[in-house]
Copies of this chain bind each other. A is one copy, B any other.
Amino acid sequence: MKAIATKGARDVRATGALELIDADIAEPDGYDLRVRIEAISVNPVDTKVRAGALGPLDEAKILGWDAVGRVEAVGDHAAGFAVGDRVYYAGQVDRPGCNAEQQLVDSRLVAHAPASLEIEESAAMPLTGLTAWEGLFDQLQLTADPKAHSEETLLVINGAGGVGSSVIQLARQLTGLTVIATASRPQSVEWCRELGAHEVIDHHDLINEFQATGRDTADYIFNCHDIGVHWENMVTLIRPLGRIVAIAETEHQVDLNALQPKAASFSWEFMFARALHGYHIERQGEILAELATLLDEGRLRSTLGEVIGPLNVENLTRAHEQLEAGHTTGKLVLTAMR
Contacts and interface: CB of A to CB of B under 8 A. Distances in A.
Nearest to A242: B279
Contacts of A264: 267-268
Interface stretch (A55-63, A270-278, A286-294): A270-278
A269 interface: yes
Given A265-B265, A265-B266, A273 B240 contact: yes
Contacts of A239: 277, 279
A273 B242 CA distance: 11
Contact of A274 (B141, B240, B250): B240
A263 interface: yes
A240 B139 contact: no
A261 interface: yes
A299 interface: no
* Contact-residue bracket for chain A: 20 to 34
Copies of this protein, total:
2
Interface stretch (A113-121, A157-165, A252-260): A252-260
Interface in A119-138: 134, 138
If over half of A's interface residues share one DSSP class (helix, strand or loop), that class is named, otherwise mixed; here it is mixed
B270 A263 contact: yes
A167 to B, nearest CB: 16
A109 B47 CA distance: 52
A338 to B, nearest CB: 36
Contacts of A263: 134, 138-139, 267-270, 273-274
Contact of A277 (B134, B240, B274): B240
A262 interface: yes
Contacts of A279: 239-241
A133 to B, nearest CB: 13
Given A241-B274, A263-B269, A269-B263, A256 B254 contact: yes
A188 B227 CA distance: 40
Given A240-B279, A241-B273, 6 more contacts: A141-B141, A240-B277, A250-B256, A254-B256, A262-B270, A264-B267
